[in-house]
């Protein structure tokens, strides 16, 4: 066996090793160089690429530029202007700070930097050929700012070049990076050209209206038309941005952008919190779409957890998780019929500073009047008749469930008698015993009456359960559970959580738990697996919603069986009562399975259907 001697690696080889961590493909180069441009205070950035970035990447900015005597230093490993000591590292606010990008890129490509600072009479350039040694800076013509030209990526590392995909695939990754950067800084203009053809031209956004336009250009107009903009702050944290309505869900998680202090990140705590917030309104197997921005003190988040800086580590992960979940959960709950002005794009005249929309993020038990789960839950149509005043005379044909039930025109008083038309309007007919047709100020509303009543009943049951406290059922035969020491420790430290959710859990030994009581709703469930899964969530995310989710599934089934069935003939007052309940109920836009409960057809849309005015 040959003897191995310890020896110092050459700086050039060190840079190439670092390039393996930082530069995976052309998109990685673009990310690093765009971060540098933004850190340099650029207000406009142009990106030109050839052959998906494999042949050439040129990025030009109008930032502060680099001094002549610092050009060579910029290409030295661990040289940076962004941090000087440990305090700077703990409070880092720049995107780049490790001092690895430029030397890593220069070691695996033919790189040229041209730059000029504001007050300099002369611009300078420096170029290399993948070697360790650079010449002296040479004079050149260049406006204020910096242009970095990267050619023939991986030309001297053929093994790495073999891992690159097709030109189309590499450009798709690169374009995605530019879009993410463009979303992170609305105040900066971005241009992207591929093989000389303009792909993106995004002007700097100065207010909500122009910010909406940029989001629409990056994410599509359908997203901005079906999203909710919000801005909420609490506990030193701020969350704002656009969250897609549940009806605008995706088959893949391909329209999800999350930024922490302006840095695009992937984080399991964040993903779990967002998924949890959407779970009660999203159709099974679908993914939400969102563009969200979290802002917090830099010292509360470690951005130096990974060489590519895609991953971060929150110092108070449970606080962040709960803040994200409660804010998003309540934002979705607060969307009622008639709130369309909160999700549509504002007009051109929209004010630069829009008022922040505040959401009540307290729990159900803190917000709702006292009710009890032991009251009858079957909402009968007779009860609707007693609670609501009839809106108009009606006639119907009991023998024909598919018949239309006509009513008076829509100009009639609402519940308060003030002559205003409610968001879901007034019922005019029921068809096929399934759908309610209503007329509102915009046109026609179509409601799936079973789906709508199912959501109303489900929210009532959840509210009642939360306020009546979750009932615990002692087990005749306690269930023993063999776990790891870490799991047992987490069970010990989260006793209050388990008790609040109806579990009585004791620790018998270092690696043994016993379940003595369970929530009454889950008495027939697999509580052993549920407890294990909850402990796993607590260890990984700092919280768990599995118990609540399991109970909600049972409540959803109860709601389904206690809701108005298809082919049930409703009178006009009964239909109007259901519409008014929908307007008051959280998440009433989706049934318990995530399907829409109603849709709007405007007069313009109806005109187009019949080619009126064409």
Lowest mean pLDDT among 171-175, 394-398, 467-471: 394-398
| N residues, the chain | 614
In whole angstroms, give the CA distance from residue 411 to residue 288: 38
* Range picked from 298-312, 378-392, 585-599 for highest mean pLDDT: 585-599
Residue pLDDT, tens place only, 452-467: 999 998 898 888 777 7
**What is the model's pLDDT at position 77?**
58
Over residues 223-252, mean pLDDT: 93
**What is the model's pLDDT at position 344?**
36
Over residues 501-520, mean pLDDT: 91
**What is the model's pLDDT at position 562?**
72
Lowest mean pLDDT among 17-21, 193-197, 492-496: 17-21
Q: Which residue has the higher pLDDT, 265 or 81?
A: 265
Sign of the dihedral through C-alpha 344, 348, 352, 354: negative
Q: Which residue has the tokens 């209206």?
A: 209
Q: What is the CATH number of domain 11-202?
A: 3.30.565.10
Lowest mean pLDDT among 76-90, 129-143, 179-193, 315-329: 76-90
**What is the model's pLDDT at position 12?**
61
**What is the model's pLDDT at position 351?**
29
Beta-carbon-side half-sphere exposure of residue 353 (alpha carbons within 13 Å): 0
Lowest mean pLDDT among 232-241, 298-307, 442-451: 298-307
**What is the model's pLDDT at position 306?**
55
* Range picked from 89-98, 387-396, 531-540 for highest mean pLDDT: 531-540
Over residues 324-342, mean pLDDT: 80
Query: By three-state DSSP, how is residue 385 classified?
Result: helix
Beta bridge partners of 125: 114, 138
Beta bridge partners of 140: 123
Lowest mean pLDDT among 137-151, 354-368, 390-404, 491-505: 354-368
Residue pLDDT, tens place only, 121-144: 999 999 888 776 677 899 999 999
Fold held by 208-342: Ribosomal Protein S5; domain 2 (3.30.230)
Q: Are 437 and 340 in contact (CB under 8 A)?
A: no
**What is the model's pLDDT at position 391?**
44
In whole angstroms, give the CA distance from residue 452 to residue 436: 10
**What is the model's pLDDT at position 383?**
47
Report residue 56 CA to chain centroid gap. 33
**What is the model's pLDDT at position 49?**
98
Which of 136, 133, 170 minimizes the C-alpha distance to 153?
170
Q: Where are the beta strands (DSSP E) in 17-158?
A: 44-50, 56-61, 110-116, 123-128, 138-140, 145-151
**What is the model's pLDDT at position 15?**
60
Over residues 474-502, mean pLDDT: 90
**What is the model's pLDDT at position 410?**
40
pLDDT at 222 over 60: yes
In whole angstroms, give the CA distance from residue 94 to residue 332: 33
**What is the model's pLDDT at position 107?**
86
Over residues 7-18, mean pLDDT: 66
Residue pLDDT, tens place only, 266-279: 888 899 999 999 98
Beta bridge partners of 115: 124, 146
Q: Where are the beta strands (DSSP E) in 283-346?
A: 290-295, 301-302, 313-314
Over residues 41-56, mean pLDDT: 97
Task: Please state, in angstroms and as integers, the Cα–Cα distance from residue 541 to each residue in 316, 366, 503, following that order.
Answer: 11, 25, 20
pLDDT at 31 over 80: yes
**Domain boundary assignment for the chain:** 11-202, 208-342, 368-451+563-609, 463-560
Considering the domain delimited by 463-560, tell me its CATH architecture.
2-Layer Sandwich (3.30)
Q: Which residue has the higher pLDDT, 418 or 7?
A: 7
Mean pLDDT for all residues in the chain: 80
Over residues 598-608, mean pLDDT: 93
- Exposure string of 384-399, with b = 16+ CB inside 10 Å and e = fewer, is beeebeebbebebeee
**What is the model's pLDDT at position 439?**
96
Rounded-to-5 percentages of helix, strand, coil across the chain: 35, 20, 45
Over residues 95-107, mean pLDDT: 71
Q: Which residue has the higher pLDDT, 524 or 576?
A: 576
Residue pLDDT, tens place only, 344-390: 333 333 323 333 333 333 322 232 332 333 333 344 344 444 444 43
Lowest mean pLDDT among 284-293, 424-433, 494-503: 494-503
* Tokens of residue 342, six digits: 């909160």
Fold held by 368-451+563-609: formyl-coa transferase, domain 3 (3.30.1540)
């Amino acid at each position: 066996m040959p003897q191995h001697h310890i020896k110092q690696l050459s700086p050039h080889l060190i840079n190439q090793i670092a390039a393996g961590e930082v530069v995976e493909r052309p998109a990685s180069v673009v990310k690093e160089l765009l971060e540098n441009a933004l850190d340099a205070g650029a207000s406009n950035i142009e990106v030109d690429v050839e052959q998906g970035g494999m042949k050439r990447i040129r990025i030009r900015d109008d930032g502060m530029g680099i001094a002549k005597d610092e050009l060579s230093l910029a290409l030295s490993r661990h040289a940076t202007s962004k941090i000087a000591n440990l305090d700077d590292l703990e409070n880092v606010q720049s995107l780049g700070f490790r001092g690895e990008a430029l030397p890593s890129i220069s070691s695996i490509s033919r790189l040229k930097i041209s730059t000029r600072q504001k007050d300099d009479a002369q611009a300078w350039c420096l170029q290399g050929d993948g070697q360790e040694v650079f010449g002296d800076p040479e004079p050149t013509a260049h406006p204020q700012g910096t242009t970095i030209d990267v050619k023939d990526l991986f030309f001297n590392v053929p093994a790495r070049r073999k891992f690159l995909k097709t030109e189309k695939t590499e450009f798709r990754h690169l374009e995605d990076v530019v879009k993410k950067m463009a979303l992170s800084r609305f105040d900066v203009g971005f241009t992207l050209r591929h093989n000389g053809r303009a792909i993106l031209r995004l002007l700097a956004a100065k207010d909500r209206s122009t910010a909406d336009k940029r989001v629409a250009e990056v994410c599509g107009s359908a997203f901005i038309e079906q999203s909710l903009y919000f801005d909420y702050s609490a506990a030193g944290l701020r969350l704002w941005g656009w969250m897609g309505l549940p009806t605008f869900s995706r088959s893949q998680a391909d329209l999800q952008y999350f930024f922490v202090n302006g840095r695009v990140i992937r984080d399991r705590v964040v993903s779990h919190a967002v998924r949890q917030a959407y779970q009660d309104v999203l159709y099974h197997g679908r993914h939400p779409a969102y563009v969200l921005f979290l802002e917090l003190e830099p010292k509360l988040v470690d951005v130096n957890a990974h060489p590519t800086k895609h991953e971060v580590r929150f110092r108070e992960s449970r606080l962040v998780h709960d803040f994200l979940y409660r804010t998003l959960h309540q934002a979705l709950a607060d969307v009622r019929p008639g709130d369309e002005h909160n999700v549509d794009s504002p007009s051109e005249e929209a004010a630069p500073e829009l008022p922040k929309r505040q959401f009540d993020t307290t729990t159900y038990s803190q917000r709702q009047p006292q009710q009890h789960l032991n009251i009858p839950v079957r909402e009968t149509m007779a009860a609707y008749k007693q609670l609501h005043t009839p809106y108009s005379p009606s006639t119907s044909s009991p023998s024909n469930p598919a018949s239309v039930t006509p009513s008076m025109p829509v100009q009639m008083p609402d519940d308060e008698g003030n002559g205003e038309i409610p968001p879901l309007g007034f019922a005019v007919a029921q068809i096929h015993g399934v759908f309610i047709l209503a007329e509102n100020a915009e046109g026609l509303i179509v409601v799936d009456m079973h789906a709508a009543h199912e959501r109303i009943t489900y929210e009532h049951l959840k509210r009642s359960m939360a306020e009546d406290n979750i009932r615990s059922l002692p087990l005749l035969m306690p269930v023993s559970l063999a776990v790891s020491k870490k799991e047992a420790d987490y069970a010990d430290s989260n006793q209050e959580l388990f008790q609040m959710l109806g579990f009585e859990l004791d620790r018998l030994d270092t690696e043994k738990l016993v379940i003595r009581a369970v929530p009454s709703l889950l008495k027939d469930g697999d509580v052993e697996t549920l407890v294990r899964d909850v402990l796993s969530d607590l260890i990984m995310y700092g919280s768990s919603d599995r118990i609540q989710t399991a109970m909600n599934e049972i409540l959803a089934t109860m709601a389904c069986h206690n809701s108005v069935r298809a082919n049930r003939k409703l009178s006009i007052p009964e239909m109007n009562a259901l519409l008014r309940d929908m307007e008051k109920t959280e998440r009433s836009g989706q049934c318990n399975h995530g399907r829409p409960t109603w849709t709007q057809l405007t007069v313009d849309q109806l005109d187009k259907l019949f080619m009126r005015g064409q």
